[in-house]
Structure 1
Amino acid sequence: MSERTWLPPVGARAEFRKTVGETDVTLFAGLTGDFAPQHIDAEYMRARPEGQRVAHGALTLSLASTAASKLCADHGLTALSYGYDKVRFLAPVFLGQTVRVQYEVESVNPEKQTAYCQVRASTEDGRLCMVAVHVLYCYQD
């Protein structure tokens, strides 16, 4: 059998940027049912150490999916997410901040048709706000 060519090359990269706004947080709260005050209640958060509302961690993580899709499109790949490992939220994302997701293939396993990708998200001030390893299952159409 010939070498599987539907895996991304190690070192392949993609990047995605998004300014997280009011609409993003409101819609995400509605989709998930997570109406915790740290996300939707500005008055509540003014009295907290952060001083303002923060985006849902899962919303920040979801931006990694867009970076993964971009990488797949750039390399003509079809993939499904097998999930995220080692997810850590290192700093809050405040409404109005731009999040930059850097996505890089660290290793591949041809036998399992999987790629392991490092995800690093940071805000425009350079603060690292989230890290994870994304596992992709890649297959040939």
Structure 2
Amino acid sequence: MGQSGLDYVKVGEVFKFSKTVGEADVTLFAGLTGDFSDTHINEQYMQEKSSLGTRIAHGALLVGYMSTVSTHSIAHIIHREGLSDFPVSGGYDRIRFLRPTFLGDTVTVSYEVTEVDREAGRSYAKQEVVNQRGELLAVGTHVMRWAGKLHTTGAA
């Protein structure tokens, strides 16, 4: 039996991902998800009807960026030889959107490993999204499951 990928996950490790949220990001995300709310795609509506005065990015787009950094957190582990398990996202707990993300904001997502539970085969990370002004936009906890690899007998 090989070594567990969890052996390489360290509490306190921090991984980051930054991206400027542009027009294309929001438009393409609307197309992918079908969420064409005026909040995201209609500038005139937001100027006339909203106290925000301009369009905002989808909250779920930020969750996508959270997923990106969770993938970065395991990149140094997944290709090691002889691992007995592999990571799969177990989901996100307590995601909260605290402030709007405006088009043109540069967001930075941090992923800090907070717990490694070897018995349950899980690791946990605190995720925070801030904008270029240091304002906290979103938070959540990511659960990474470390599943045992399937063993096959012989090649076809």
TM-score, with normalisation over the residues of structure 1? 0.93
Q: Which has the larger radius of gyration?
A: 2
Q: Does 1:43 align with 2:37?
A: no
Q: Which residue of 2 aligns with 1:133?
A: 141
Identical-pair percentage:
44
Q: Does 1:6 align with 2:33?
A: no
Separation in 2 of the partners of 1:41 and 1:135?
Answer: 35
Letter in 1 for 2:106: T
Letter in 2 for 1:63: Y
Separation in 2 of the partners of 1:105 and 1:138?
Answer: 14
1:44 aligns to what SS in structure 2?
Answer: helix
1:27 aligns to what SS in structure 2?
Answer: helix
Structure 2 residues not aligned, in runs of 5+: 79-85, 150-156
Q: Which residue of 1 aligns with 2:123?
A: 115
Letter in 2 for 1:6: G
Q: Which stretch of the first structure deviates more once superposed, 94-103 or 4-13? A: 4-13
| Structure 1 residues 1-141: aligned runs within 5 Å | 5-7=4-6, 8-47=9-48, 48-74=50-76, 76-77=77-78, 78-139=86-147
Aligned pair count reads 139
TM-score, with normalisation over the residues of structure 2? 0.84
Q: Is the 8 A contact 1:6 1:139 kept in 2?
A: no
